[in-house]
């Protein structure tokens, strides 16, 4: 099974290498990341030093969740260096800019034996921590052979991924045997993992770490107050601000249709769209313009003048969290298309009314908790999105109730 997996992985590596090479030669993209994915890590990581703890977080969401672990790891293992790897460019940038206490950040290697062996020799981990469900067979087998302890933290097995894992259960069961501890988000994920072959004695339900990864607004010195953010963006305190966060292809259209209805009733309404993937910034700007709205990129805004546009496309990394402060209502994307949803806790900690779509399987327990407490609104179509956003903008009492309940729910689930 491992041989088949390795051959398929190598075939994929050979297939994508020309693309990476072309992008590197023409646009200078992926130059440093490609070499790191081959196991050639930068000398700035001080790889001649002693052992380490290696945390792997795929992208932005996992990086933010891993933040909650860093103080405890630093206190408990003061002699070990803390490294983090990411898969995406946005996750890499966030980890470098926003996480204190890391000794280095690098790109996750391709899961080929000769590459992961080289990476392990350089990083010298005593402990390898995977955030959520990042399970890589060759790396985990290499960790096992080299005596590296492995832990899956904030683990989950979604209803969407479970059938795929069942299809490769013989391989998956062998891989799970190389993981020393599973810390799962909920009972359902725990049951699915055990059904896939995990040793029940190694499985613990710890709840979601995402609640603990959130810092309360008062504890965020880098975040400006709401008034300062409003002044910074030159937005009047009286304007209704709708934020569409982490949107994916297929979601901007219904958001823009909903905003068109909102503008008919509230002419000074203002929309901020934050696409999930940076490579879609240009596409979304064109889409907004085609819909008939005046639009600007966040990076093009004149800081000394109020935006004279209807819509701003957030084309920067790391600003979305502070912008939640000025939102009147927040739609969290990845949920109107069958992707699995995105994290709703960031706007919740700011006490904002939250709307999301029907596809929340990646955050099933959190979404169900919020809905049961009447702390968020779920819609099932673009038409429902229009109605719900309009209703919330017309009802300040309901907005306040939803936001207060959402924030209280986050606070009560910490620890």
For residue 378, the model assigns a pLDDT of: 97
User: Active site residue: 50, 62, 251, 346, which one?
Assistant: 62
For residue 411, the model assigns a pLDDT of: 86
Q: What is the pLDDT along the chain (415 residues), one digit of tens a residue?
A: 677 777 777 777 778 777 766 666 665 556 668 889 989 998 878 777 789 999 999 988 899 889 889 989 999 999 999 999 999 888 898 899 888 789 999 999 999 999 999 999 999 999 999 998 888 999 999 999 999 999 999 999 988 889 999 998 988 999 999 999 999 988 999 999 999 999 999 999 988 877 666 665 555 544 456 666 776 666 777 789 999 999 999 999 999 999 999 999 888 899 999 999 888 999 999 999 999 999 988 888 765 555 578 999 999 887 888 889 899 999 999 999 999 999 899 999 999 999 999 999 888 888 999 999 999 999 999 999 999 999 999 999 999 999 999 999 988 877 6
Which residues, at least 6 apart from 165, have a Cβ–Cβ distance to it below 8 Å?
157, 172, 192, 196
Q: What radius of gyration, in Å, describes the C-alpha atoms of the chain?
A: 22
Residue found under tokens 């992985």: 9
For residue 222, the model assigns a pLDDT of: 42
As to burial, measured by CB atoms within 10 angstroms (0-12 exposed, 13-18 middle, 19+ buried), residue 145 is exposed
Which residues, at least 6 apart from 195, have a Cβ–Cβ distance to it below 8 Å?
none
Q: Which residues pair with 247 in a beta bridge?
A: 275
For residue 154, the model assigns a pLDDT of: 92
CA 319, CA 274: separation in Å to the nearest integer? Answer: 10
The structure tokens listed for 14 are: 């050979």
CA 67, CA 265: separation in Å to the nearest integer? Answer: 42
For residue 221, the model assigns a pLDDT of: 46
pTM recorded for the entire structure: 0.74
The structure tokens listed for 118 are: 């080289």
Domain 2-213 architecture: 3-Layer(aba) Sandwich (3.40)
387 is catalytic: no
The structure tokens listed for 401 are: 């109730």
Q: How is residue 413 annotated by DSSP? A: T
Q: Which long-range contacts (CB under 8 A, 24 or more apart) does 372-379 make?
A: 373/405, 373/409, 374/401, 374/402, 374/405, 375/348, 375/402, 375/405, 375/406, 375/408, 375/409, 376/344, 376/348, 376/402, 376/406, 377/353, 377/402, 379/336, 379/355
Residue intervals of the chain classified under CATH 3.40.50.11720 are: 2-213
Q: Which residues pair with 84 in a beta bridge?
A: 55, 105
The phi and psi torsions of 67 (rounded to 5 degrees) equal -55, -35
CB-based burial, 262-292: b 16+ in 10 Å, e otherwise = bbeebeebbbbbbbbbeebbeebbebbeebe
For residue 215, the model assigns a pLDDT of: 62
CA 390, CA 396: separation in Å to the nearest integer? Answer: 11
Which option is the CATH number for 217-408: 3.40.30.10, 3.40.50.2000, 3.20.10.10, 3.40.50.300? 3.40.50.2000
Residue intervals of the chain classified under CATH 3.40.50.2000 are: 217-408
């Amino acid at each position: 099974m491992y041989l088949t997996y390795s051959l398929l992985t190598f075939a994929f590596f050979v297939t994508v290498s020309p693309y990476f090479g072309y992008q590197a030669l023409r646009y200078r993209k992926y130059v440093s990341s490609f070499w790191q994915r081959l196991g050639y890590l930068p000398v700035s990581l001080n790889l001649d030093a002693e052992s380490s703890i290696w945390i792997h977080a795929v992208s932005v969401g996992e990086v933010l969740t891993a933040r909650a672990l860093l103080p405890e790891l630093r206190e408990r293992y003061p002699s070990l260096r803390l490294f983090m790897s990411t898969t995406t460019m946005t996750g890499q940038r966030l980890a470098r800019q926003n996480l204190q206490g890391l000794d280095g950040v690098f790109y996750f290697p391709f899961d080929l034996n000769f590459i992961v062996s080289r990476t392990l020799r350089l990083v010298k981990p005593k402990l390898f921590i995977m955030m959520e469900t990042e399970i890589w067979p060759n790396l985990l087998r290499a960790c096992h052979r080299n005596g590296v302890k492995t832990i899956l933290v904030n683990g989950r097995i979604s209803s969407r991924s479970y059938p795929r894992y069942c299809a490769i259960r013989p391989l998956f069961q062998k891989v799970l045997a190389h993981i020393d501890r599973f810390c799962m988000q909920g009972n359902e994920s725990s049951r699915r993992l055990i059904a896939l072959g995990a040793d029940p004695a190694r499985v613990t339900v710890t709840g979601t770490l995402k609640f603990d990864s959130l810092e309360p607004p008062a504890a965020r010195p880098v975040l400006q107050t709401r008034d300062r953010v409003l002044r910074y963006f030159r937005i009047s305190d009286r304007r209704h601000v709708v934020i569409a966060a982490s949107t994916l292809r297929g979601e901007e259209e219904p958001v823009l249709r909903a905003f068109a209805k909102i503008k008919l009733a509230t002419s000074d309404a203002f929309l901020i769209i934050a696409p999930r993937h940076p490579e879609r910034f240009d596409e979304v700007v064109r889409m907004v313009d085609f819909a008939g709205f005046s639009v600007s990129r966040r990076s093009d805004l004149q800081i000394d003048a109020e935006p004279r546009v209807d819509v701003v496309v957030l084309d920067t990394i790391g600003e979305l969290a502070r912008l939640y402060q000025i939102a009147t209502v927040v739609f969290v994307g990845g949920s109107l298309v069958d992707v699995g949803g995105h994290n709703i806790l960031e706007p919740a900690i700011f006490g904002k009314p939250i709307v999301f779509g029907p596809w929340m399987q990646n955050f099933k327990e959190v979404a169900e908790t919020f809905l049961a407490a009447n702390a968020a609104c779920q819609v099932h179509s673009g038409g429902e999105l229009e109605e719900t956003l309009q209703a919330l903008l017309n009802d300040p009492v309901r907005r306040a109730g939803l936001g207060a309940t959402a924030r209280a729910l986050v606070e009560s689930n910490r620890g």
